[in-house]
Amino acid sequence: MAVETLDDGRKRITAPLSEDDVRELEAGDVVLVSGTIYTARDAAHKVLIEMLDRGEELPFDPSGQIVYYVGPTPERPGNVIGSAGPTTASRMDRYTPRLLEIGLKGIIGKGGRGPAVREELKKHTAVYMAALGGGGALAALQVRSQKVIAFEELGTEAVRAMELEDFPVWVVNDCAGRDFYAETIAPWRRNGLLPEDLHFVVNSGDKGNGGGT
Amino acid sequence: MTVREIDSSEITRVVRELCIDINYNVPEEMVSLMREAREKEESPLGRQILDLLIRNQDLAAEGEYPYCQDTGYTVVFLDIGQDVHVTGGDVYAAIDEGVRQGYSEGYLRGSIVRDPLFDRKNTGDNTPAFVHTRIVPGDEIRIQVDAKGAGSENMGKHAMLKPADGLDGVKLFVLKAVAESGPNACPPGIIGVGVGGNFEMSAVLAKKALMRKVGQPSPDPQIAELEAELYEKCNALGLGPEALGGTQTVLAVHVETMATHIASLPVAVNIECHAHRTGARVI
């Protein structure tokens, strides 16, 4: 079993994840990710999708795996890695469905996903999780090893196999279609203080050009 | 009249030191404002998140891991006294050399691609810096360096409103920008608002607003009142820390204004995340 529920309600997961594993992860769950995951962000996604278009084999098999959207800082001598927090996930929205189609089961980033990706997560029984945005120093402490496995020329954007130990994330979009951001923000909006236009606006990554870091 | 000579290597040295320092040590007012936000936050999850972010701030200050892996665009506000003569080479080359040295020696990430459209190849050393130069009275050079993360920068908004939209139109525009930035801008952060000028001046004003000491109100009482109102309303949006719900969405709202055209009401919103990394030195 790749999902273990701890006494305090948190869940520890290790890839590969089956569809049954994914179904155990619900929006709002605090999840500790351990084991090997793969990193890829903007430039790597572009190349991965181009490889799929050409019918080539990817540098790793995404089936059942977890991809983490991160571009770390260079590691100091003696350290495993530099700062390594998440980047904005919605920039990868254009690429994500292709990877879900070939079996990717988990994604770690920050911020919301667009409606199309949320729908694809349901369709393919996969899960999107957010790590602590801007918490790059803390994130580094949960990384046990990292190795560039492809696209070394992309530098910080290269694909890495990264071994994590109890890396904390929140489930944002589960395979039932829930969106944790929408659920958590709504009760705190004080409509009485705001112009009417803002009474029901809840962002979930559908707008704007897609964030960064 | 005497002219003071400053060697461009001094500029390089200061930029290098600031690049390293700010990426590990946020300004002291950010340390206190984050702790105040932790006291004020009503959401239990929001308080947990602020505890983590404060730990992250402390860990970065130990000097091993930068605060955030996005060590930013290097933005430089350069105020050159008109009685200064810079010797020993090109001023902008000296700034880029400082960035190059600082990012390499400080184990900071190069995040700049050399061309936006046709060749998105990382320059590797975070150059070029984006420099705003002003000639000012005096015989000193003031250099403020800002490491601006793209997650919040990408959430910026700009509009040419109509004069008839007025103050209410500006307020609504700012609040919508913050609401729509959601988790992408890594709240709680700072909202820089530029109103007036023309198309580009309003955007520069918004960035300049972020360079102010955080939480220090505008010296203009009317603008200070607007800042206080926007601060309260931004926090009423309920995004909270990391936009997982709560009462602390922004730590401060800074507004800068300037003259504008009879036909125009330009407004720009430049959002800063909780990783506000800036510092200034005078040579």
If you compute the radius of gyration of chain B from its CA atoms, what whole number of angstroms results?
A: 19
User: Are B278 and B22 within 8 A, CB to CB?
Assistant: yes
Contact at CB, A134 and B275, closer than 8 angstroms: yes
Q: How far is A99 from chain B (nearest CA, A)?
A: 22
Q: Is the pLDDT of residue A202 over 60?
A: no
Residue B272 φ/ψ, nearest 5 degrees:
-115, 140
Cβ distance A35 to A3 under 8 Å? no
Q: Does A211 map to a domain? A: no
Give the whole-angstrom CA distance, residue B205 versus residue A176.
45
Domains identified in chain A, total number? 1
Residues B23-53 as b/e (b if ≥16 CB within 10 A, e otherwise) read bbbbbeebeebbeebbeebebebbbbbbebb
**CA distance, residue A151 to nearest chain B CA (Å):** 13
Upstream peptide bond of B241 is cis (omega within 30 degrees of 0) = no
Residue A178 has pLDDT above 50, yes or no: yes
Contact at 8 Å (CB) between B78 and B141? yes
Chain A partners within 8 Å of B124 (Cβ): 155
CB contact under 8 A, B238 and A170: no
Whole-number pLDDT of residue B20:
98
Residue B145 CB contacts under 8 Å (≥ 6 apart), including other chains: B15, B18, B19, B22, B74, B75, B76, B278, B279, B280
pLDDT, greater one: B115 or A199 = B115
Amino acid of residue A157: E
**Is A69 part of a structural domain of the chain?**
yes
Work out the minimum CA distance from B275 to partner chain A, whole angstroms: 6
Q: What does the block give as tokens for B47?
A: 């308080």
- Chain B residues within an 8 Å CB radius of A141: 59
pLDDT classification of A210: cutoffs 50, 70, 90: very low
Has residue A209 got a pLDDT over 90?
no
Pick from A79, A137, A180: CB nearest B59: A137
When mean pLDDT is compared across A2-6, A30-34, A90-94, B260-264, the lowest value belongs to A2-6
The beta-carbon neighbor of A82 closest among B65, B182, B232 is: B65
Q: Is residue A132 part of a domain?
A: yes
Residues forming beta bridges with residue B74, ordered by sequence position: B147
Average pLDDT over residues A114-128: 97
Largest CA distance in chain B: 62
* Residue A56: predicted pLDDT: 97
Is residue A122 domain-resident?
yes
Q: Report percent pLDDT > 70 for chain A.
A: 93
- Average pLDDT of chain A is 93
Q: How far is A176 from chain B (nearest CA, A)?
A: 19
Is A115's pLDDT higher than 70? yes
Task: Select the residue from A32, A47, A50, A73 to test the B interface by mutation, using most B Cβ atoms within 10 A.
Answer: A73
pLDDT tens, position by position, A134-144: 999 999 999 99
Does B45 contact A180 at a Cβ distance shorter than 8 Å?
no
Q: A124 catalytic, yes or no?
A: no
Confidence of residue A208 (pLDDT cuts 50, 70, 90): very low
Among the options A11, A41, A45, A124, which is catalytic? A45
Q: What pLDDT is stored for residue B11 in this prediction?
A: 98
Percentage above 90 pLDDT, chain B:
99
Contact B53 A134 (CB under 8 A): yes
Supply the pLDDT for residue A213.
56
Burial of B145 (0-12, 13-18, 19+ CB in 10 A): buried
Q: Which strand (E) or helix (H) includes residue B101?
A: helix B91-105
More confident residue, A30 or B2: A30
In a domain, A207, yes or no: no
Of B43, B69, B150, nearest to A136 by CB-CB distance is: B69
| pTM for this prediction | 0.94
Q: A101 lies in a domain?
A: yes
Please say if the pLDDT value at position A206 is more than 90. no
- Write the CATH number for A8: 3.20.130.10
In DSSP terms, B70 is beta-bridged to none
| A212 in a structural domain | no
User: Which domain covers residue A167, as residue numbers?
Assistant: 3-198
- Check pLDDT > 60 for residue A27: yes
* Residue A34 exposure: Cα atoms within 13 Å on the Cβ side: 10
Mean pLDDT score of chain B, rounded to an integer? 97
Q: pLDDT band at A205, cuts 50/70/90? A: very low
Q: Is A204 within the bounds of a domain?
A: no
User: Is residue A197 very low, low, confident or very high in pLDDT (cuts 50, 70, 90)?
Assistant: confident
Enter the DSSP assignment of B120: -
For chain B, list residues with pLDDT below 50: none
